[in-house]
Structure 1
Amino acid sequence: MSTPAGFDELIHPSTRLSVVALLAATEWADFPFIRDSLSLSDSALSKQLHTLEEAHYLEIQKEGGGRKRRTKVRLTAQGRTAFEGHVAALRAIVEGAAASPTRTEARR
């Protein structure tokens, strides 16, 4: 089976997919909300956000300064399109597997 159109290797790793899926459900999310929702460390989340930002899938805004600094994140239009395409590709893979004969039937 070939990889369906829309499958995105950048989004596919589970942590990045979780981040993008969480952001797809909202306009903006605060860094602590994302971190706590996904049970990630600050450094692990920062690394994933940086990777997604470099691909232009996320926009990151930093507000305030010092101890009151606040980081907000949202999907860009490009990120939302990539996520929707990836979800469609995953559905195509799953539906293709469900439509194939079972192993027992394939052996007959």
Structure 2
Amino acid sequence: MSTDGLDPVIHAPARLRIVAALAQIARDDTIAFPRLQRELEMTAGNLSTHLRKLEDAGYVQVTKTHEKRTPVTYLALTPEGRTALRTYRTALTAILGGSS
């Protein structure tokens, strides 16, 4: 955590967009990688790179499976990821001088 309270893992613009998008999904639901990629208009490589950092931090759960014979990747924000986003939002609001 940085001294201003902004989590550097979430603070990167692409990762903030990913976490914000995943936060819109119900807690017990997931989104398929291609759908998130389309919604965020990111390349597969760029999205994968940022997801790895979020996964390493424990903020995103990545589930790889097969449907029929096709590999599918599902994504979800973990409870830790939801907490980190709330904390980030509170810190950002405080920096901007608003109330949380």
After the TM superposition, list the runs of 4 or more consecutive aligned residues in structure 1 that deviate by more than 2 angstroms. none
Distance in 1 (alpha carbons) for counterparts of 2:79 and 2:56: 14
Residue 77 of structure 1: aligned partner: 79
Q: Which runs of 5+ in 2 are unaligned?
A: none
Residue 68 of structure 1: aligned partner: 70
- Aligned partner of residue 10 in structure 1, secondary structure: helix
Distance in 2 (alpha carbons) for counterparts of 1:95 and 1:42: 36
- Please report the TM-score for the alignment, with normalisation by the length of structure 1: 0.79
Q: Which amino acid aligns with 2:96?
A: V
Q: Which runs of 5+ in 1 are unaligned?
A: 97-108
Q: Which amino acid aligns with 1:22?
A: A
Distance in 1 (alpha carbons) for counterparts of 2:16 and 2:65: 26
Residue 8 of structure 2: aligned partner: 9
How far did residue 65 of structure 1 move? 6.4
Correspondence for 2:89 among 87, 90, 98: 87
- Higher relative strand content: 2
Q: Which amino acid aligns with 1:30?
A: A
Q: Structure 1 residues 38 and 67 mapped into 2: Cα distance closer, same or farther (>3 Å)?
A: farther
How far did residue 68 of structure 1 move? 1.6
Distance in 1 (alpha carbons) for counterparts of 2:65 and 2:39: 21
Select the structure of larger CA radius of gyration.
Answer: 1
- Higher relative helix content: 1
- Please report the TM-score for the alignment, with normalisation by the length of structure 2: 0.85
**% of aligned pairs identical?**
35
RMSD between superposed Cα atoms in Å: 1.8
How far did residue 66 of structure 1 move? 8.5
